[in-house]
Structure 1
Amino acid sequence: MNYTFHQLQVFLKIVETKSITKAAVELFLTQPAVSIQFKNLQNQFDIPLAEVIGKQIHITDFGYEIAGMAERIINEVYAINYKTLTYKGILSGRLKLAIVSTGKYIMPYFLTEFLKKHPNIELTMDVTNRSKVLESLEKNEIDFALVSVLPAKIEVEEEILMENRLYLIGNGQEKFTKVPYDRSIFGKIPLIYREQGSGTRVVMENFFETSKVQVRKKMELTSNEAIKQAVMAGLGYSVMPLIGVHTELLTNQLQIISVSGLPVKSVWRLIWLKDKKLSPVAQSFLGEIRQNKLEILAKNFGWLDSF
Structure 2
Amino acid sequence: MNYTLHQLQIFQKIAELKSITKASEELHLTQPAVSIQLKNFQDKFPIPLTEVVGRQLYITDFGMEIARTVTKILTEVEAINYKTRAFQGEISGRLTISVASTGKYVLPYFLSGFMRKNPGVDLVMDVTNKSLVVESLERNAVDFALVSVLPDKLKINTISLMQNSLHYVASSDFDIADGESGEVLFEKMPLIYREPGSATRNAMENFIAQRKFSITKKMELTSNEAVKQAVIAGLGCSIMPIIGLRNELKSQKLKIVPVTGLPINTFWNLVWLQAKNLSPVAKAFVEYLEAEKEAVIAKHFDYLS
- Structure 2 length as normaliser, TM-score? 0.86
Q: CA-atom RMSD, angstroms? A: 2.8
Structure 1 match to 2:190: 190
2:175 is the alignment partner of 1:143: no
Counterparts of 2:47 and 2:152, CA distance in 1? 43
Write the letter of the residue equivalent to 2:277: K
Counterparts of 1:55 and 1:138, CA distance in 2? 40
Counterparts of 1:106 and 1:78, CA distance in 2? 29
Counterparts of 1:248 and 1:205, CA distance in 2? 24
Provide, for residues 58-77 of structure 1, a one-character-per-residue CA deviation record: whole Å limited to 9, x for no partner: 66655554443333222221
The percentage of counterpart residues that share the same residue type is: 54
Structure 2 match to 1:254: 254
When residues 292 and 124 of structure 1 are mapped into structure 2, their CA distance, relative to the original with a 3 A threshold, is same
Q: Which structure 2 segments of 5+ residues have no match?
A: none
Structure 2 match to 1:100: 100
Write the letter of the residue equivalent to 1:81: N
1:171·1:233 contact (CA, 8 Å) conserved in 2? yes
Number of matched residues?
305
Counterparts of 2:215 and 2:94, CA distance in 1? 45
> Which range moves more in the overlay, 174-183 or 260-269?
174-183
Q: Which structure 1 segments of 5+ residues have no match?
A: none
When residues 253 and 60 of structure 1 are mapped into structure 2, their CA distance, relative to the original with a 3 A threshold, is farther
| SS of match in other structure, 1:286 | helix
| SS of match in other structure, 2:69 | helix
Counterparts of 1:285 and 1:206, CA distance in 2? 34
Counterparts of 1:101 and 1:268, CA distance in 2? 12
Counterparts of 2:65 and 2:85, CA distance in 1? 31
Counterparts of 2:263 and 2:255, CA distance in 1? 13
Q: Rg bigger for which structure?
A: 2
Counterparts of 1:138 and 1:204, CA distance in 2? 25
- Superposition deviation, residue 202 in structure 1: 1.7
1:158·1:271 contact (CA, 8 Å) conserved in 2? yes
Counterparts of 1:36 and 1:137, CA distance in 2? 41
> Which range moves more in the overlay, 45-54 or 288-297?
45-54
Write the letter of the residue equivalent to 2:190: P
> Which range moves more in the overlay, 83-92 or 128-137?
128-137
> Which range moves more in the overlay, 127-136 or 230-239?
127-136
Structure 1 match to 2:76: 76
> Which range moves more in the overlay, 134-143 or 230-239?
134-143
Provide, for residues 76-115 of structure 1, a one-character-per-residue CA deviation record: whole Å limited to 9, x for no partner: 2122122122222121222222223222211111011111
> Which range moves more in the overlay, 211-220 or 290-299?
211-220
Counterparts of 2:274 and 2:2, CA distance in 1? 42
